[in-house]
Amino acid sequence: MVNSSNLKRGIILEIDGAPWLVIEVAFQAPSARGASTITKAKVKNLITGAVLKKSYRGGEMLQEADCEKRDVQFLYRDGSEFHFMDEETYDQFSLEEEAIADSVGYMLDGMRLRSMLYNGDVVSIELPNTVELEVVETTPNLKGATAQAQLKPATLETGLVVQVPPYLESGVKIKVDTRDGRFIERVK
């Protein structure tokens, strides 16, 4: 059990028999004397992907979901199915593209990830904060371009399109933030 006043981003709650990940938390101070603080949370269902906004009174006790994280390896993609292997048990499993839609553009064959298990079933995949991917297509290098100039689109080896500085060319490896799809730096 977790107190609503101690709610943080990343905690997994059990709401209506399903695991919900807290993605945003805001605390609202009472406007009347004697009123309790209100905790407003934005939560995402780890099974369906639905996002809800929930409000809780200060001091309300919330049920944490019984989840387990395990290291897995992404093996390959077969149509709309993505195949993984549990690195502890060597069991293989697959997930549909809809279940991991936000992660698809960052995954390469052989990549190590973390899986989230709820009641023994894998419900989501957790990416590392950054990944290194190769630029396969972008507009030509602009003469006199600097890092402070406007950005240009670049297609990466997974098909993901990110905005990069104009001096980058095809064939260069870059580091990308998986949380917001932002270019971080060129990999040396």
Q: What is the reported pLDDT for 12?
A: 87
User: What is the rounded distance in angstroms from the CA atom of residue 126 to the CA atom of residue 113?
Assistant: 6
User: What is the rounded distance in angstroms from the CA atom of residue 166 to the CA atom of residue 176?
Assistant: 16
> Do both 71 and 54 map to the same domain?
no
Q: Under a CB-based contact definition with an 8 Å cutoff, are residues 86 and 93 in contact?
A: yes
* Mean pLDDT to the nearest integer, 92-112: 86
User: What is the rounded distance in angstroms from the CA atom of residue 116 to the CA atom of residue 32?
Assistant: 41
Domain final residue pick, 39, 62, 85: 62
pLDDT digits (tens, 9 = 90+) for 57-91: 888 899 888 888 899 999 998 888 899 999 989 99
DSSP-based three-state secondary structure for 99 = helix
Token pair belonging to 177? 């933030």
pLDDT digits (tens, 9 = 90+) for 110-164: 999 998 888 888 888 888 989 999 999 988 866 665 556 688 899 999 889 999 9
Q: What is the reported pLDDT for 136?
A: 93
User: What is the rounded distance in angstroms from the CA atom of residue 28 to the CA atom of residue 53?
Assistant: 14
Domain final residue pick, 62, 85, 101: 62
The number of helices, as runs of H, and strands, as runs of E, in the chain is 0, 16
Q: Under a CB-based contact definition with an 8 Å cutoff, are residues 54 and 63 in contact?
A: no
User: Could you tell me the residue range of the domain that residue 135 belongs to?
Assistant: 130-186
Amino acid sitting at position 7: L
Question: Which stretch of 1-5, 99-103, 131-135, 173-177 has the lowest confidence by average pLDDT?
Answer: 99-103
Token pair belonging to 171? 């064939």
Q: What is the reported pLDDT for 145?
A: 55
Check which CATH number belongs to the domain holding 57 and give it: 2.30.30.30
> Do both 146 and 162 map to the same domain?
yes
Q: What is the reported pLDDT for 117?
A: 86
DSSP-based three-state secondary structure for 46 = coil
Amino acid sitting at position 83: H
Model pTM score:
0.71
**Domain count across the chain:** 3
Backbone angles phi, psi at 22, to 5 degrees: -80, 120
Check which CATH number belongs to the domain holding 148 and give it: 2.40.50.140
Q: Under a CB-based contact definition with an 8 Å cutoff, are residues 113 and 74 in contact?
A: yes
Express as a percent the part of the chain with pLDDT over 70: 93
In the block, residue with structure tokens 């799809």:
181
